[in-house]
Structures are given as C-alpha cells and as structure tokens.
C-alpha cells in the first residue's frame, strides 16, 4: 500500500455559485433581497405561472461580464439562454433558465497565491448566468414549506478546470474568488445567506503524477461531486474527507475503486457528522433535456458594450491578488499581513492612499492591523470602514516615524480619531499626548516614581531575581505618570542613572 499511496494525487475541479447583488431578480422586477418573510418577493414570472414572460436584467449580464473579464475570460459576441429541465419542489415551473453550450464567459484563468510566496495558475473553463431556485424550508413538524423569494435571483456559476491538486489550492482559489466578486461589487458573497456556494468535483489520480490524464500511466478513482457547500470550513472538510475516503477505498478494493467501474456520484456534506454521505449516481447532461429558451432573445455583446465593461473594470483598478503580490514584493510584508490588507477594497485603498501620502508602509500596516483591526472587530466592520481617513492615518504614521508620539499614545489617538474629523497632530496636542523626550520633564516623573515606590527601588538595589521585574515596574510607573507621553528609551536611561546602575 505504501507505494500506491505515494502515487495518489488529488485532482479537483470547483464550481462556484455566486448570487449577484442586483436590485431586482434576473427575469422579473421582484426585489433581490434576503431575509424578508417567505414569498413576499414573487410574481407570475418567478413563481413560474404559465404564459408569464421573462425579461432579461441587463445589470446581471454586465456583472457577469465584469467577473468574466476579471478572470481573463473571453466574453463571446453571442450567448443564449437554455432551459434545463428538472423537477423539484423549489422550482415550480419545472425548468431553470440557464446557459448550456454558449455561456457568457469562456476560457480564462486566475493566479492564486500559495504559501511560500508561490503562485499557481488555475484555468477557468467557463462562467455562465442562470436563475437561482427557491428554497425548501424544513421548519414545520409535519410538512416542508417552499420560499420562492430566492427563485429568480441571478446566479453566476464559475467552473474551473480540474487543476487543483490539494486542499490548500482549493481553499486559496475559493478565498480568492470570494474576495474578487466582493471587490468588483457584483456580489455580497455572504455565505451564511447562501450568496456563495461551492461544489467541488474530487477524484484521485492513481499512477504517475507527471502524467495525469494519460490513461496508460494510471487511472482515476470515482469522481465525487459534493453539492451546496456554503462555508469555507465545510469546503475544506469535504475535500479532506473525500481524499481520505478514496485512499481508504483504494487500500481495501484496489483498482476496483475506479472511475471506470464506479462512475460519478453525488455526495452531500453533513456538518453534524463532519462527514459526507452518498446521495445518488450522477445524472448525465442529457437527463436535463437542455433546449434553447424560446421566451428570451439571445444576448449579443458588441465591441462597444464589452469595452464599456472593460472600462468599468479599469476604474476598479488593481485587483486583490495583484495587490497582495505588490505588498509582498515591494513593501516586504508577510503573507499574513498582505492577505489581511487585501480582504476588501476599502482597507486596501486606505492603506495605499496613506502610503501615497508619504507615510512609511510598515508603520501604516502596523497601525491598521494593530489598533485598527481591534476596533474593526469591536464594531463588526472591515478595517477600512472604522472611520479613520486617508488623511488622518498617514498623519498619525508620520508622527510615529518622527518620534512625536510613542506607540501607546498613537493607540490612544487612533481611538479618538475614528470618531473625529480632527487631525491626529491636533488631537495629540489637545490631549497632551505628544511625546516628551525633554530630560527635565521626564526626570520629574522618574523622581516621583522612585519616591512613591520604595519597595521596588529596594528590589532593584538588592539585585537577583526580583531586579528585572522591579525595574520594569518602575518604568511602567513613569510611563503612567507621563500618561504615555514619555519616550520609553529616555525613561529607562534616566531611571538607570538615578538608581545608580
Ligand atoms: Zn418575480
């Protein structure tokens, strides 16, 4: 088994469903809104009454084009709508309007960041637009309800090539996509609200890892498709569970556990069991009986329209992964810092604008990820929205660099500045937080601290174990007397002199 195991390589493709944040649904004027009472945003079109005619929402198409172009896809001149037939309680008209053979975006790629400053290109097969289905509600003791508020919300499905080779790559891709669609402003991608869902296709290649897909060099285990994962955690656990499961199956059944023998299967992830369970053998595409949607005209994308969306994309500017790279290479940040700052555009812009205003990058980053992150956490918002502006932040960073305030004072100023329009320099002055390196002033505080703490002074003189702690205590007392304004190095120097060390 040892040899076998060495030659098993996960081969994973990912489908990502993203609900687009349009005002209205994709084919009717109902509001696209989460959380309202069931069936309050419905009309004959989205509940599938016979004869009701759909009208395409142009914004949904444009949002999809924008994602496609950001993923380096081709947006073809001609795309169309197709009916995908299936029968399910949350789909009253018994078909979903989707795109089958001519999607809105094809053949792109996304370069995802990996640990150790590495990057891997993941190819995108396609991205197509469809309508979301309704939702079954299992809140009743004796029956299931159906809420059709979600039916008809525009849903962009992004499909990758099976290029992902381990859980880390899957997670990096998923997080990168999450960040990208929010950055572009096309989706809130709130996973708790089901606005972003993942469906991995997972198989293991057993054979020569250099020759994946070469049938003379190995074979695939059955493809498991796991539907509707709506958290990063469940995606990560699912991938790991399936990989482990396939390895165990190979150990037990050998080559009988192959795609050729077992085929494709649909599995579901059960959160409470922390495991997947079998659902059914997978339908082939022809089961859906796709055919062109007769009630909607095809979408013709001319050069002018495509260029308009490209211009909008240019206005968004540098995308998160590119910024992450820049922070790593130009500012020499750690991967963790670069990742944290590019979670959202507001935080990243605040950071960039502050550095453009002449502040030192490392100072700005430390302020944002220190006190800034703590405040964001308290307020339940992103760091970029806590209330410090791109004029105030560089001002504060520069004061730190010049030694006009120390770190303790900077934190206090930060706390005040998020609720004020005043410049940090003004606040430092009015609050008496400007650093005091004036030896005369600090000497007064040192003398006071020594007079008030004879025991600590005695411990310092006694030497041994207690000395270091007592000295630290006295330093702290002086800093407190100065309300954080004294320069710590100066305090320690003067204390040492006074205590005769
Ligand atoms: Zn409607």
Let me know if residue 313 belongs to a domain. Answer: no
328 and 227 part of one domain:
no
187 and 138 part of one domain:
yes
Structure confidence at residue 466 (pLDDT): 84
CA of 305 to the centre of ligand 1 (A): 27
CA of 99 to the centre of ligand 1 (A): 20
Q: Is the separation of the CB atoms in 401 and 354 below 8 Å?
A: no
End of a domain among 303, 334, 351? 303
103 and 188 part of one domain:
yes
Residue 78 has φ and ψ, to the nearest 5°, of: -135, 120
Let me know if residue 308 belongs to a domain. Answer: no
Please choose, from the candidates 97, 82, 18, the residue with its C-alpha nearest in 3D space to the C-alpha of residue 52: 97
CA of 85 to the centre of ligand 1 (A): 19
CA of 48 to the centre of ligand 1 (A): 9
Q: Is the separation of the CB atoms in 275 and 243 below 8 Å?
A: no
Q: Indicate whether 436 pLDDT > 80.
A: no
CA of 30 to the centre of ligand 1 (A): 4
400 and 451 part of one domain:
no
Structure confidence at residue 285 (pLDDT): 53
Whole-number Å distance between alpha carbons of 432 and 19: 51
The three-class DSSP label of residue 440 is helix
120 and 36 part of one domain:
yes
Q: Is the separation of the CB atoms in 23 and 159 below 8 Å?
A: no
CA of 74 to the centre of ligand 1 (A): 31
CA of 41 to the centre of ligand 1 (A): 6
Structure confidence at residue 501 (pLDDT): 64
CA of 52 to the centre of ligand 1 (A): 10
CA of 182 to the centre of ligand 1 (A): 25
CA of 86 to the centre of ligand 1 (A): 20
Q: How confident is the model over 231-244, as a mean pLDDT?
A: 95
Q: Which residue has the tokens 């992103």?
A: 382
- Domain count of the fold of the chain: 3
- Give 154-207 pLDDT, tens digit per residue: 999 999 999 999 999 999 999 999 999 999 999 999 999 999 999 999 999 998
CA of 387 to the centre of ligand 1 (A): 38
CA of 146 to the centre of ligand 1 (A): 15
Q: Indicate whether 256 pLDDT > 90.
A: no
CA of 24 to the centre of ligand 1 (A): 9
Cβ neighbours, 10 Å, residue 484: 20
CA of 283 to the centre of ligand 1 (A): 29
End of a domain among 405, 430, 455? 430
Whole-number Å distance between alpha carbons of 388 and 372: 9
End of a domain among 275, 303, 331? 303
Q: Is the separation of the CB atoms in 74 and 117 below 8 Å?
A: no
CA of 156 to the centre of ligand 1 (A): 18
CA of 5 to the centre of ligand 1 (A): 52
CA of 53 to the centre of ligand 1 (A): 10
Please choose, from the candidates 98, 213, 236, 210, the residue with its C-alpha nearest in 3D space to the C-alpha of residue 162: 213
Q: Indicate whether 4 pLDDT > 60.
A: no
109 and 35 part of one domain:
yes
Domain that includes residue 361, residue range: 318-430
Question: Beta partners for 376?
Answer: none
- Give 35-59 pLDDT, tens digit per residue: 899 999 999 999 888 888 999 999 9
CA of 80 to the centre of ligand 1 (A): 21
Let me know if residue 33 belongs to a domain. Answer: yes
CA of 35 to the centre of ligand 1 (A): 16
CA of 95 to the centre of ligand 1 (A): 15
Cβ neighbours, 10 Å, residue 45: 22
CA of 288 to the centre of ligand 1 (A): 24
End-to-end CA separation in angstroms for the chain: 68
CA of 152 to the centre of ligand 1 (A): 7
Let me know if residue 43 belongs to a domain. Answer: yes
Among 89-93, 113-117, 161-165, 285-289, the range with the most confident prediction by mean pLDDT is 161-165
CA of 103 to the centre of ligand 1 (A): 23
Count CA atoms closer than 13 A to 232's CA, side-chain side.
14
Let me know if residue 310 belongs to a domain. Answer: no
Let me know if residue 312 belongs to a domain. Answer: no
CA of 45 to the centre of ligand 1 (A): 5
12 and 89 part of one domain:
yes
Residue 358 has φ and ψ, to the nearest 5°, of: 105, 5
Q: Which residues contact 345 (CB under 8 A, 6 or more apart)?
A: 182, 183, 316, 320, 384
Whole-number Å distance between alpha carbons of 341 and 173: 17
pLDDT band per the 50, 70, 90 thresholds, residue 278: confident
CA of 287 to the centre of ligand 1 (A): 27
Q: How confident is the model over 78-102, as a mean pLDDT?
A: 89
**What is the 3-state secondary structure of 285-354?**
HHHHCCEECCCCCCEECCHHHHHHHHHHHHHHCCCHHHHHHHHHHCCCCCHHHHHHHCCCHHHHHHHHHH
Structure confidence at residue 443 (pLDDT): 87
Whole-number Å distance between alpha carbons of 411 and 373: 12
Distances (CA, A) of 462 to 222, 227, 447, 495: 74, 70, 19, 16
Is residue 260 packed enough to be buried (19+ CB in 10 Å), middle (13-18) or exposed (0-12)?
exposed
Quote the mean pLDDT of the chain: 90
Q: Is the separation of the CB atoms in 164 and 173 below 8 Å?
A: yes
CA of 333 to the centre of ligand 1 (A): 48
195 and 83 part of one domain:
yes
294 and 339 part of one domain:
no
CA of 408 to the centre of ligand 1 (A): 56
**H-state helical runs in 156-302:** 167-183, 232-253, 259-262
CA of 300 to the centre of ligand 1 (A): 24
- Give 376-391 pLDDT, tens digit per residue: 999 999 999 999 999 9
Let me know if residue 360 belongs to a domain. Answer: yes
250 and 134 part of one domain:
yes
CA of 132 to the centre of ligand 1 (A): 12
CATH number, domain of 476, equals 1.10.10.410
CA of 317 to the centre of ligand 1 (A): 35
Q: How confident is the model over 293-311, as a mean pLDDT?
A: 93
CA of 294 to the centre of ligand 1 (A): 19
Is residue 356 packed enough to be buried (19+ CB in 10 Å), middle (13-18) or exposed (0-12)?
exposed
Q: Indicate whether 6 pLDDT > 70.
A: no
Here the tokens at position 341 are 């700052």
CA of 66 to the centre of ligand 1 (A): 25
pLDDT band per the 50, 70, 90 thresholds, residue 464: confident
CA of 247 to the centre of ligand 1 (A): 47
Whole-number Å distance between alpha carbons of 160 and 105: 12
50 and 162 part of one domain:
yes
CA of 142 to the centre of ligand 1 (A): 28
CA of 486 to the centre of ligand 1 (A): 65
Let me know if residue 309 belongs to a domain. Answer: no
Distances (CA, A) of 54 to 28, 51, 59: 6, 10, 15
CA of 323 to the centre of ligand 1 (A): 39
CA of 133 to the centre of ligand 1 (A): 12
285 and 323 part of one domain:
no
Written as one string, the DSSP assignment of 121-138 is: EEEEEEEEEEEPP-EEE-
């Amino acid at each position: 088994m040892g040899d076998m195991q060495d030659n098993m390589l996960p081969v994973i493709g990912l489908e990502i469903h993203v609900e687009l944040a349009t005002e209205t649904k994709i084919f009717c004027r109902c509001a696209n809104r989460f959380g309202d009472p069931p069936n309050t945003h419905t009309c004959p079109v989205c509940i599938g009454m016979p004869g009701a005619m759909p009208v395409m929402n142009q914004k949904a198409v444009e949002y999809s084009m924008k994602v496609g172009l950001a993923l380096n896809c081709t947006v073809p001149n001609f795309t169309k709508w197709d009916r995908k037939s299936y029968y399910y309680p949350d789909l009253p008209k018994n078909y979903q309007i989707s795109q089958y053979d001519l999607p809105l975006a094809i053949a792109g790629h996304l370069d995802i960041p990996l640990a150790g400053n590495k990057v891997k290109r993941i190819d995108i097969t396609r991205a197509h637009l469809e309508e979301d289905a309704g939702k079954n509600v299992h809140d009743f003791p004796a029956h299931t309800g159906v809420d059709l508020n979600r039916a008809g919300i525009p849903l962009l499905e992004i499909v990758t090539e099976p290029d992902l080779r381990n859980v880390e790559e899957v997670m990096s891709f998923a997080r990168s996509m999450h960040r990208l669609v929010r950055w572009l402003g096309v989706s809130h991608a709130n996973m708790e609200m089901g606005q972003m869902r993942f469906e991995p296709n997972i198989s293991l290649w057993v054979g020569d890892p250099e020759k994946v897909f070469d049938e003379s060099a190995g074979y695939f285990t059955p493809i498991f498709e796991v539907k509707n994962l709506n958290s990063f955690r469940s995606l990560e656990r699912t991938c790991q569970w399936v990989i482990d499961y396939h390895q165990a199956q190979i150990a037990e059944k050998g080559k009988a556990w192959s795609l050729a023998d077992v085929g494709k299967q649909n599995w579901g992830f059960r959160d409470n069991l922390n495991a997947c369970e079998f659902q059914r053998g997978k339908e082939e595409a022809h089961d859906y009986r796709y055919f062109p949607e007769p009630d909607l005209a095809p979408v013709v994308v001319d050069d002018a329209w495509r260029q308009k969306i490209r211009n909008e994309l240019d206005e968004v500017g540098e995308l998160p992964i590119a910024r992450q790279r820049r922070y790593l290479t130009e500012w020499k940040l750690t991967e963790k810092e670069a990742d944290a700052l590019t979670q959202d555009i507001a935080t990243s812009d605040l950071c960039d604008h502050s550095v453009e205003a002449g502040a030192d990058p490392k100072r700005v980053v430390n302020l944002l990820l220190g006190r800034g992150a703590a405040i964001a956490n308290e307020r339940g918002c992103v760091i970029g929205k806590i209330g410090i502006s791109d004029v105030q932040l560089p001002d504060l960073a520069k004061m730190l660099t010049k030694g006009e305030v120390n770190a303790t004072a900077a934190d206090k100023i930060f706390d005040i500045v998020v609720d004020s329009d005043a410049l940090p320099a003004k606040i430092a002055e009015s609050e008496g937080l400007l650093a005091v390196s004036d030896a005369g002033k600090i000497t007064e505080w040192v003398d006071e601290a020594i007079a008030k703490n004879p025991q600590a002074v005695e411990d310092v003189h006694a030497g041994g174990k207690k000395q270091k702690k007592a000295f630290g205590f006295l330093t702290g007392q002086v800093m407190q007397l100065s309300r954080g304004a004294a320069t710590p190095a100066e305090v320690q120097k003067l204390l040492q002199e006074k205590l005769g060390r």
